[in-house]
Structure 1
């Protein structure tokens, strides 16, 4: 597994397409579990988490499930834990869930790249 993370509108998708031009990407906001489980690459993975939570699905074991069924996937996700803490309870829970899921996935990943202003910096290369 490999991850590309960073803030919103920082150039993650552009960098992902440059590094992995051969990958067929799915959009997390539009994908169901079957698509996620078989994808080569997932853009906006954080949106998949949001969609799952909005439908009432438990995401506490999402990282473990994904590692088990699709350990070679390349994930692109926003970092949503910076800035002002949201007032809305769902938004706070979503923010925490993305952080927890992505932390587990980053620990498992062989490479994690953080993107700021379109520049990717490898922060883990195991």
Structure 2
């Protein structure tokens, strides 16, 4: 598993496409498009879960932070199992860092921010590689 994070509009998607030379055999699932992060019927070798922060934001509308974290641990565990089925399976997770700046006043926004921090830590822990992208430049931190 490879986790890529960084600021919004800082080139994460472009960097991932270039780094992996991604072609049509890649499944892109997007939290921004409200697609489900499931592997139903997928037969390819590479999946990109794009918009982890957006999926968590959707969850924060109806779930508490601990339930969100539990849900994402289960989802990521399923993708890790899929990855281990074949040597050429690769799961790439992209999420925008929302931890900088002022703590939100609204409870739901704080729950989203907190849950993102915890889920991002969990994903980083599971990942073999973690990169932070700022202004299109990567820094490998794991």
Q: TM-score, normalised by structure 1?
A: 0.87
SS in 1 for 2:8: coil
Q: How does 1:105-116 map to 2 (within 5 A)?
A: 105-116=123-134
Partner of 1:70: 79
1:12-47, CA deviations, whole angstroms, 9 ceiling, x for partnerless residues? 111111123132211113112xxx131711111110
Partner of 1:10: 10
| 8 A Cα contact 1:4 1:76, kept in partner | yes
- Structure 2 gaps of 5+ residues are 84-90
Moved over 2 A (4+): 55-58
Q: How much does 1:68 deviate?
A: 1.9
Root-mean-square deviation (CA, aligned residues, Å) is 1.6
Q: How many residues align?
A: 121
Distance (whole Å) between structure 2 residues aligned to residue 56 and residue 96 of structure 1 = 13
- Structure 1 gaps of 5+ residues are none
Q: How does 1:37-56 map to 2 (within 5 A)?
A: 37-38=38-39, 40-56=47-63
